[in-house]
């Protein structure tokens, strides 16, 4: 028998206390694992209501971060906003492992290094160039076509940190807004006319790696609104996306759960667009949809457990984000039908305040037929006002 | 559309902080609901590590209990050790609803009243008599056969509060041990030679009621060790047990999740043995085994939500309890195979100390074949040392 064991009072620390940490925590709990949270800010976050160990401090407060890490057996992150140098420092001074590792973050925290890393490993990425000035903008537009996308090389998330360059004028405007004039590294990326946006979650531990089904992401105003699992594309294409994701996670030596987002082009090419080193919105469907959810496999991977199978429980899972409609104290209204429908699974994140576009919860519907399940999920999701 | 809504900061209070509250809390959380716990004692309980709102006090401290109830939107219980009079008092003084209601507890907290209530409703129960003395013991033994069971009319749980009467001498001994000589009400129950022990969970809200599959309970030293879902008996018998359970929950006007434990006799009779007004060990299999777990439906029922479907996700679910082997600081050893096996689902309750027979966790295995799934679950369960 393998000697693997879980000790009482094993404590997993989260840097960040949002819904991703919260949904991960439920899975830590079911293994008897305790959670602790380090978060900034004065406003309560979703984790505040599900863990007794909340530390509030600045993400620049190295001493406090090191003390926090010392109080944990393993530390993980629910976002990618911390510098790899800081993470290394925390890990080395506390002696507590951090997964995904700072070395992994180093490869993906800067979009330029990320693109270079993947390109050199022959993973298809969108055409990109480093942009320093007017001339670079013009030559990129001329080479790869207008419009294209300008990205700040750090800090992008759901369309924030991006600007569309329709022409020289809007490009210069975007360059400025993204901090290009004040020394921030700016990247140009060709706009890829895509058929579909795809995503593959991958879980990887020190000894195992496993891909989730290839899903289809339907965006609304740069924010993921709907996930269809599996993607309604040829099985060979699904498999190809999974293979790229498995290769990509190896290249960056990722430990934990990772999201890889792709463009599927009209010509059937699959191009890596974004990498997220954490459980991701495009994997929420896996809570009920798969034998092992992305959150459970994240806990397993960062705590050194064997990984669980990712097979779908039913032929189709559709996840619909529940976004805030307007600024107010949150009330989840008209959730009756979502709760009463067979194999519809409502999740609310416990956020106290709602605002337009804020991710307040999600709804997953399992079914046998893609069209009817999608229709049902959209109908139920559209009813809810948060 | 139905106007049902869930407000931010809705808080569900638990009286008792053990694993049943903990597993219920995970489900409250996924609806954005907050939990609070009132518990006694100085030793940490499983809920201490998953909720920031822990109140420690005596269960006799009415004022503190009322204050606790006032801080909650709904209160529920994870055990049946509180007197219905006290619960009524807490509810009436706090204005906070308690589910299951104190009126339900009134009907089942005393085994005599419980038996009478069910018998009058023509629900089959084991032959029983109120025992006051020597003569009652002798006449019961002569009428219904030796051995029989003596039960304290309050406070029974997994064989505690029970004594087997083999003859007059052991009966008098048991009568004394159970408190019969110091005024405690004692009940005699005929020992029913059973083929199998069955159990049915039922979820009931103010407007709906739904039964879980009829399962088979395999005991070891009066403690449930294994649950096989569904019970390996004729479907008509399963249906009969479900019907009795549905009738029983109506009779006691139960709101929440209830366990009904039955004896199946050689002649095919189904006799109600025990009632538990809460999520129950015999329903843990439903976490992965059913579309909606007993914990989720408990939350739904006591918070006034529509109930979820209880259909099994796979043909067979086997739950194996993980019991402590000896007194020590808990370490869950040899869990590797349980974690690595497809559709095996390990749950540990986060208890800091292990002792012989203590419920430390459980393991559910889903499968297609009863024999092989049972064998696999027992093999995996037997490997684990906590």
Instruction: Please confirm whether the linkage preceding B16 is cis (ω < 30° from 0).
Output: no
Six-digit token pair at A381?
A: 């999701």
Beta-sheet pairing, B11-15 with B74-77: parallel
Give A30's contacts in chain B (Cβ within 8 Å).
23, 26, 347-348
What pLDDT does residue A4 have? 78
What DSSP character marks residue B307? P
Model confidence over B100-128: pLDDT tens digits?
999 999 999 988 999 999 999 999 999 99
| CB proximity A160 to B under 8 Å | no
- The interface residues of chain B toward chain A in range 50-69, judged by CB-CB distance below 8 A, are 50-52, 54
Backbone φ and ψ of B48, nearest 5°: -55, -25
Are B336 and A22 an interchain contact pair (Cβ–Cβ within 8 Å)?
A: no
Are B352 and A3 an interchain contact pair (Cβ–Cβ within 8 Å)?
A: no
Helical pair A111-120 and A235-251, crossing angle rounded to 10 deg = 110
Report, as an integer, the average pLDDT of A62-70. 98
Model confidence over A128-182: pLDDT tens digits?
999 999 999 999 999 999 999 999 887 554 456 789 999 999 999 999 999 898 8
Q: Which of B25, B52, B311 sits opposite A48 (nearest CB)?
A: B52
Locate the chain A residue with the closest alpha carbon to B380: A1
**Separation of alpha carbons A338 and B301, rounded Å:** 15
pLDDT averaged over every residue in chain A: 94
What pLDDT does residue A2 have? 55
Beta-sheet pairing, A5-7 with B331-333: antiparallel
Distance from CA of B229 to the nearest CA of A (A): 18
Residue A1 confidence class, pLDDT cut points 50, 70, 90: very low
Give B300's contacts in chain A (Cβ within 8 Å).
339
**Separation of alpha carbons A110 and A121, rounded Å:** 17
- The interface residues of chain B toward chain A in range 310-339, judged by CB-CB distance below 8 A, are 311, 313, 329-337, 339
DSSP-based three-state secondary structure for A284 = coil
Angle (CA) A243 A248 A250, round 5°: 100
Is the model's pLDDT at A255 over the cut of 80?
yes
Buried b (16+ CB within 10 A) or exposed e, A257-269: bbbbbbbbeeeee
| CB proximity B343 to A under 8 Å | yes
Residue ranges and CATH numbers for the domains of chain A are 11-98 (3.40.50.20), 127-190 (3.30.1490.20), 194-383 (3.30.470.20)
**Separation of alpha carbons B20 and B5, rounded Å:** 26
Are B8 and A48 an interchain contact pair (Cβ–Cβ within 8 Å)?
A: no
| CB proximity A91 to B under 8 Å | no
Beta partners for residue B128, in sequence order: B189
What pLDDT does residue B155 have? 58
**Separation of alpha carbons B209 and B207, rounded Å:** 7
Return all residues near A168 (Cβ < 8 A) that are at least 6 apart: A134, A137, A138, A141
Angle (CA) B223 B226 B230, round 5°: 130
**Separation of alpha carbons B128 and B184, rounded Å:** 16
| CB proximity B5 to A under 8 Å | yes
Q: How many CA atoms lie within 13 A of A300 on its CB side?
A: 28
**Separation of alpha carbons A212 and B307, rounded Å:** 30
Give A51's contacts in chain B (Cβ within 8 Å).
50, 52
Distance from CA of B128 to the nearest CA of A (A): 40
Six-digit token pair at B369?
A: 């074949």
What pLDDT does residue A74 have? 97
Give B355's contacts in chain A (Cβ within 8 Å).
none
What DSSP character marks residue B306? P
Selected residue with higher pLDDT from A6 and A102: A102
Are B29 and A9 an interchain contact pair (Cβ–Cβ within 8 Å)?
A: no
Judge contact between A31 and B348, C-beta under 8 A.
Answer: yes
Beta-sheet pairing, B162-165 with B148-152: antiparallel
Residue closest to A298 by CA, chosen among A204, A210, A213, A215: A204
Are A350 and B22 an interchain contact pair (Cβ–Cβ within 8 Å)?
A: no
Are B337 and A1 an interchain contact pair (Cβ–Cβ within 8 Å)?
A: yes
Six-digit token pair at B337?
A: 């195979």
Judge contact between A189 and A137, C-beta under 8 A.
Answer: no
What is the CA A4 to chain-centroid distance, rounded? 29
Q: Report, in angstroms and rounded to the nearest whole number, the Rg of chain B calculated over CA atoms.
A: 21
Report, as an integer, the average pLDDT of B65-93. 95
Judge contact between A316 and A228, C-beta under 8 A.
Answer: yes
Give A2's contacts in chain B (Cβ within 8 Å).
334, 336-337
Residue B42 confidence class, pLDDT cut points 50, 70, 90: confident
Q: Which of A32, A308, A331 sits opposite B361 (nearest CB)?
A: A32
Return all residues near B342 (Cβ < 8 A) that are at least 6 apart: A291, A308, A309, A311
Model confidence over B157-192: pLDDT tens digits?
445 678 999 999 999 999 999 989 888 889 999 988
Locate the chain B residue with the closest alpha carbon to A291: B343
**Separation of alpha carbons A140 and A134, rounded Å:** 10
For B374, the enclosing helix (H) or strand (E) is helix B370-383
Cα dihedral value B65, B69, B74, B77, nearest 10: -10
What pLDDT does residue A157 have? 47
Model confidence over A318-374: pLDDT tens digits?
999 999 999 999 999 999 999 999 999 999 999 999 999 999 999 999 999 999 999
Return all residues near A52 (Cβ < 8 A) that are at least 6 apart: B48, B49, B50, B51, B52, B54
What pLDDT does residue B1 have? 43
Judge contact between A368 and A314, C-beta under 8 A.
Answer: yes
Give B302's contacts in chain A (Cβ within 8 Å).
none
Residue A288 confidence class, pLDDT cut points 50, 70, 90: very high
DSSP-based three-state secondary structure for B289 = helix
Distance from CA of A213 to the nearest CA of B (A): 16
**Separation of alpha carbons A215 and A217, rounded Å:** 7
> Which of the residues A49, A206, A306, A380 would you substitute to probe the B interface, choosing the one with the greatest number of B C-beta atoms within 10 Å?
A49
Locate the chain A residue with the closest alpha carbon to B383: A1
């Amino acid at each position: 028998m393998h000697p693997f064991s879980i000790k009482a009072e094993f404590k997993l620390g989260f840097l960040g206390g949002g819904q991703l940490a919260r949904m991960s925590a439920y899975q830590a709990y079911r293994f008897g694992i305790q959670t602790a949270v380090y978060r900034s800010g004065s406003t309560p976050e979703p984790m505040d209501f599900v863990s007794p160990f909340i530390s509030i401090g600045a993400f620049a407060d190295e001493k406090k971060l090191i003390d926090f890490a010392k109080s944990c057996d393993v530390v993980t992150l629910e976002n990618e906003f911390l510098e790899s140098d800081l993470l290394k420092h925390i890990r080395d001074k506390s002696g507590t492992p951090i997964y995904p590792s700072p070395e992994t973050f180093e490869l993906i925290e800067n979009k330029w290094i990320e693109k270079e890393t993947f390109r050199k490993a022959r993973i298809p990425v969108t055409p990109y160039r480093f942009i320093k000035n007017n001339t670079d903008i013009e030559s990129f537009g001329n080479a790869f076509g207008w419009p294209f996308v300008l990205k700040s090389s750090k800090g992008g998330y759901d369309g924030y940190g991006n600007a569309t360059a329709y022409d020289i004028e809007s490009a210069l405007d975007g360059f400025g807004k993204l901090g290009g004039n004040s020394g921030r590294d700016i990247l140009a990326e060709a706009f890829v006319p895509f058929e579909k946006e795809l995503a593959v979650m991958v879980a990887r531990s020190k000894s195992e790696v496993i891909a989730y089904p290839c899903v289809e992401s339907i965006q609304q105003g740069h924010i993921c609104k709907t996930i269809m699992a599996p993607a309604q594309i040829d099985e060979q294409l699904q498999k190809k996306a999974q293979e790229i994701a498995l290769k990509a996670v190896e290249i960056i030596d990722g430990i934990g759960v990772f999201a890889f987002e792709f463009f599927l082009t009209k010509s059937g090419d699959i191009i890596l667009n974004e990498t997220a080193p954490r459980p991701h919105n495009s994997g929420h469907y896996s809570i009920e949809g798969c034998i092992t959810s992305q959150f459970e496999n994240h806990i397993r991977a960062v705590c050194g457990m064997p990984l669980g199978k990712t097979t779908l429980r039913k032929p189709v899972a559709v996840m619909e984000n529940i976004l805030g409609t307007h600024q107010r104290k949150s009330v989840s209204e008209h959730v009756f039908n979502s709760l009463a429908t067979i194999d519809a699974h409502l999740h609310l994140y416990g956020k106290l305040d709602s605002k337009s576009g804020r991710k307040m919860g999600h709804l997953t519907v399992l079914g046998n037929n893609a069209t009817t399940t999608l229709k049902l999920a959209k109908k139920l999701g559209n009813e809810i006002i948060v």
